[in-house]
Amino acid sequence: MAKAYRALPVLEVKNIVKTYGGVKALDEVSMALTAGNVHCLAGENGCGKSTLIKIISGVEQPDSGSIYIDGKLQEKLSPFSSIMAGIQVIYQDFSLFPNLSVAENITITSQVAIRAKLFSASKAKIAAATIIKELGLTLDLSAKVEALSVADKQLTAICRALINDARVIVMDEPTTALTHTEVDYLFDVVRKLRERGVALVFVSHKLEESLQVSQDVTILRNGKHIISGIASEFDRKSLTQYITGRDVSEAREITSPVMTAKPLMEVSHLCSSGAFNDVSFTLHSGEILGITGLLGSGRTEIAEALFGVRPAESGTIEIDGQAIRVRTIRDAIKAGIGYLPEDRLTQGLFLDKSVGDNIIAGSLDKHRSAFGLLDGEGISKTTQSMFDRLKIKAKSVSAPVRSLSGGNAQRVVLGKLLANQPKVLILNGPTVGVDIGSKEQILEILRNEANLGRGVIVISDDSLELVSVCNRVLVVRQGEIVDTLTGSQITATNIQEMTTA
Ligand SMILES: Nc1ncnc2c1ncn2[C@@H]1O[C@H](COP(=O)(O)OP(=O)(O)OP(=O)(O)O)[C@@H](O)[C@H]1O
Ligand SMILES: [Mg+2]
């Protein structure tokens, strides 16, 4: 009875089993949430984290196992009974109504929950204001949600959870789209939630962050419960070992490309008012070039201009010495540029189509015979090899994308990009949402692509990732390239100092 001093868990799951058509997503998993504690739920892509969340929110029913709320066994937890018991999940898209105000969004589900016949806007505003004040936030109650930053949308979702008397708040990868300052702010709010006695579940692939904010840890691997314990007894290394089942090297591993006199791509004086100014750089064949900067620095806008998402207003882009015009995405693809966008929720996957169909969707023209016929054999070879190289966790290439975990769906997008064999690969946050063990595999794939003679641009604020693969790193601040790091200058400390200077 080592843990006898602990209070009765607010929520406890015991020996949960959940299978999806033969795949054991959860295999005897247990977890106990204590009031006032943050519980870090960690593990590789596809290990079962989101499935466990669906079970405690009543969205999915377990095959076996039990759920206790305040020590009381729940015979059948439905989404409604879960909400009534005070369990609130903040999903990645926050499930807010974009065209309603902050106040309306905060109060709307509680109105629904108590089935209020009359929705009083003024009462809603008072209730919302109380919560915002208690948390010490500065949210504008009458602002439309669509006009808010990601961080403020998240805070709105948190306030909504609280107004519904949340006793358990689950956050699935809450910091992915936040700047460093916003993360600090979120963690302040988390501390206030703890003081109110809320039990939190925190799912994130960023290990330092998870350790910093959590008191308890549960680690899953392949649906199995590996360990639960007190956060202070873990560090990055041990956490990584439990998560992956092995040691993971995060060392710098760079092969210098042969710098030919002529660059593969040359960008000169690119401007886009309000986004970036006078951006010039070269990219050589075989090179991995990092572009780093804080969220909002202009790093994403530069990538989007190169890919024709938001074309630049002036400046030139040359590939193999030829000036190219990039007014649309089509122009960019035709010129041999491929792009992996940052926004994981709008990656243009066909969810009901198979993994294979999605991988090949962008490169069908490359698999046609001279007579325009599709080369079935070539197609299945390409899709199978991407499936294997990217270690996509699914039954086979014919599994629908909808059945994949978040991180595995992300790999399908990368597979689709690689299958098209672009000359220039631009990847915005290539390992966002990817687990620590697979991160190195994806970086290795980028090294291979560079070795094949492609030019690779990695847009990232993950300094370990940049240190691990980049030959050069451009630092962007307020829309301008302010520094270039090469060779031994590429260190995590330098990158952090220069992006925030
Ligand atoms: N509706 C479904 N049909 C079939 N298989 C599913 C379904 N939902 C999840 N799975 C499978 O269950 C396993 C666990 O998936 P889950 O989404 O819980 O992973 P996760 O830990 O959240 O991963 P990530 O970090 O990538 O988000 C995966 O193998 C996934 O493919
Ligand atoms: Mg998930």
Q: What is the pLDDT of residues 359-390, one digit of tens each?
A: 998 888 888 877 778 888 888 899 999 999 88
Specify the ligand 1 atom closest to the Cα of 220: 21
Compute the distance between CA of residue 230 and CA of residue 38 in angstroms, rounded to an integer: 11
CB of residue 25 inside a 6 A radius of ligand 1? yes
Contact 163, 131 (CB under 8 A): yes
Residue nearest to atom 19 of ligand 1 (CA): 46
pLDDT at 14: 97
- List the single range of 25-29, 435-439, 458-462 with lowest mean pLDDT: 435-439
What Rg, from alpha-carbon coordinates, does the chain have? 24
Residue nearest to atom 10 of ligand 1 (CA): 403
Mutate to test the pocket of ligand 1, among 19, 26, 51, 63 (most ligand atoms within 8 A of CB): 51
**DSSP 8-state class, residue 7:** P
389-428 burial, b if ≥16 CB within 10 A, otherwise e? bbebbbeebebebebbbbbbbbbbbbbbbbbbebbbbbbb
First and final CA of the chain: distance in angstroms?
51
Specify the ligand 1 atom closest to the Cα of 54: 18
Contact 355, 404 (CB under 8 A): yes
Q: What is the pLDDT of residues 321-351, one digit of tens each?
A: 999 999 999 999 999 999 998 766 556 788 8
Contact 483, 498 (CB under 8 A): yes
Task: Give CATH superfamily name and number for 250-336+422-501.
Answer: P-loop containing nucleotide triphosphate hydrolases (3.40.50.300)
Mean pLDDT on 430-451: 88
46 CA → ligand 1 middle, Å:
5
**DSSP 8-state class, residue 457:** E
pLDDT at 462: 86
11-244: CATH class: alpha beta
396 CA → ligand 1 middle, Å:
14
Band (497; pLDDT cuts 50, 70, 90)? confident
Compute the distance between CA of residue 446 and CA of residue 255 in angstroms, rounded to an integer: 12
pLDDT at 3 over 50: no
CB of residue 170 inside a 6 A radius of ligand 1? no
Mean pLDDT on 228-235: 94
Specify the ligand 1 atom closest to the Cα of 44: 25
Whether the domain at 11-244 and the domain at 250-336+422-501 fall into the same CATH topology: yes
CB of residue 439 inside a 6 A radius of ligand 1? no
23 CA → ligand 1 middle, Å:
9
pLDDT at 9 over 80: yes
Residue nearest to atom 24 of ligand 1 (CA): 45
Q: What is the pLDDT of residues 464-483, one digit of tens each?
A: 899 999 999 999 999 999 99
Q: What is the pLDDT of residues 260-289, one digit of tens each?
A: 778 999 999 999 998 999 999 999 999 999
pLDDT at 114 over 70: no
pLDDT at 4: 47
Which ligand lies nearest to the CA atom of residue 47 in the structure?
Answer: 1
Amino acid letter, residue 352: D
Specify the ligand 1 atom closest to the Cα of 405: 17
Which ligand lies nearest to the CA atom of residue 205 in the structure?
Answer: 1
Contact 124, 97 (CB under 8 A): no
Q: How many CB atoms lie within 10 A of CB 24?
A: 15
pTM tops 0.85: no
Residue 33: both structure tokens together: 């949430």
CB of residue 49 inside a 6 A radius of ligand 1? yes
Residue nearest to atom 28 of ligand 1 (CA): 46
Which ligand lies nearest to the CA atom of residue 51 in the structure?
Answer: 1
Q: Would you list the domain boundaries of the chain?
A: 11-244, 250-336+422-501, 349-404+412-419
CB of residue 48 inside a 6 A radius of ligand 1? yes
- Kindly state the percentage of the chain with pLDDT values over 90: 52
Q: What is the pLDDT of residues 127-141, one digit of tens each?
A: 888 888 888 888 888
CB of residue 401 inside a 6 A radius of ligand 1? no
Residue nearest to atom 18 of ligand 1 (CA): 48
Mean pLDDT on 3-16: 81
Compute the distance between CA of residue 313 and CA of residue 325 in angstroms, rounded to an integer: 11
CB of residue 437 inside a 6 A radius of ligand 1? no
Mean pLDDT on 396-423: 91
Contact 60, 13 (CB under 8 A): no
